[in-house]
Amino acid sequence: MAAGTDIGLIRIRNEDAVRIFPQQGIVILSDGMGGHRAGDVASSMAVEVIASQLGCGPRGSHAGNGLPVSPQTLAETLLNANTAILNVAREQADCSGMGATVVVVCFHDQHYIAAHIGDSRLYRFAEGRLEQLTVDHTLAERYMRQGFITRQQATRWNGKNILVKALGTDETVTPDINQGPVSSDDLFLLCSDGLTEAMADAEIENLLQQDDIGLQCKVERLIAAANNNGGPDNISVILARPSRL
């Protein structure tokens, strides 16, 4: 596993949070909602609550026994993070309105299970091809799937970054869950929209095809490439190769 995060070239602070837990086979990435107060608090809370609930923290309860995580457990974990963020937002005026996206992946016995809320993404890179495994919870994505706009129009639409689902915005939130087997050469990429706003999937794919560098170097090159393309937002990247966990 390898991870990195960068403020980018435009933002005044980094509201992303990333954590990797190689021994448990768990990776978590969260992006504080841009323009919202205390987005960095929300993303840090999301990562820490989820890590603890999945057995990666001092009060871990579910996955710390080395057993696979169930879809229900993973959904409950994200709901608990949502509740924690809402409670702090109510109790602390300077945190009112904060929120975050999140994507978490758990690997166990050549199998993965993932959950996400918002527009932070999960990809799988296999046989030289990059495949997006998550669907953005944005208004643009919804309109595109309903046939109101094309994918090309969605990339230029003024409301393309409006989230329709995020942690900290509603009392109840239901994440998307997906799961499946992994092959020995699969490489999983988690990233905030600071990467995908600055780089096309084809550019990311080309960089991941470089076989002569390690995972950490690939993370650093992805972040550098996003910054070279303008760095319009915080940039966070996690790479995980399950066969080596």
Q: Where are the domains of the chain?
A: 2-132+166-244
Strand order in the sheet with 235-240: 2-6, 235-240, 187-191, 121-126, 129-132
Residue 63: what pLDDT?
Answer: 47
Mean pLDDT of the chain: 90
Task: Give the pLDDT confidence of 119-157 residue by residue, as tens digits.
Answer: 999 999 999 999 999 999 988 777 877 777 777 777 777
The C-alpha atoms of residue 200 and residue 207 are separated, in whole angstroms, by 11
Q: What is the pLDDT of residue 129?
A: 96
Query: Over the stretch 44-83, which tens digit does the pLDDT of each residue have?
Result: 999 999 999 999 855 444 444 556 899 999 999 999 999 9
pLDDT for 35 equals: 56
Q: Which CATH superfamily is domain 2-132+166-244 in?
A: PPM-type phosphatase domain (3.60.40.10)
Neighbours of 183 (CB within 10 A): 11
The reported pTM is 0.92
CA 124 from centre of chain: 13
